[in-house]
Amino acid sequence: MGDQKKLLIIDDDAEILAALDNYLRKKNYNVSIAANGLDGLKLLESEPGRFDLIITDLVMPSISGVAIIAIAKKKFPDIPVIAITGWGEHPEALATEAEADLVMEKPFELSVLESKITEILSGKK
């Protein structure tokens, strides 16, 4: 399982977090989850180089997804980031400005997300 890709998923919506976690584990990813921005940031900073890709919700209390992307891109510019955003929220422009590699608007098919993950990860290496 040496080539198992490591994902960090950050979302304050427990249901979405669980759904992504379940689905991507089944797809043979090594998944770490964080229920808020601060925990996500701590995971990210605890072991540099630990993650191959970050998926983050954009609108979260305290440390928003936009902040996560900005910090991640500054400290770990090689880790690609997918931003997911709820319908009717409009911080996408900011996410793009913070250099998210992809912004996906909810709702989306999990299979679409997975194919995007594969695409981004294969483009990277």
Site residues (CB under 8 A) for another protein? 38, 41-42, 45, 61-64, 66-67, 70-71, 74, 90-91, 94
Least distance (Å) between residue 109 CB and another protein: 26
Least distance (Å) between residue 95 CB and another protein: 10
| Rg from Cα positions in the chain | 13
User: Is 80 or 91 the residue whose CB approaches another protein more closely?
Assistant: 91
Dihedral class, residue 28 (left if φ above 0, else alpha if ψ from -120 to 50, else beta): left
* Residue 102 parent element (H or E): strand 102-105
* Residue 73 parent element (H or E): helix 65-75
Half-sphere exposure of 10 (CA within 13 A, CB side): 31
User: Is 66 or 117 the residue whose CB approaches another protein more closely?
Assistant: 66
Least distance (Å) between residue 122 CB and another protein: 31
Least distance (Å) between residue 85 CB and another protein: 11
**86 vs 13: CA distance, rounded Å:** 11
Q: Which DSSP category does 116 fall into?
A: H
User: Is 35 or 71 the residue whose CB approaches another protein more closely?
Assistant: 71
User: Is 32 or 85 the residue whose CB approaches another protein more closely?
Assistant: 85
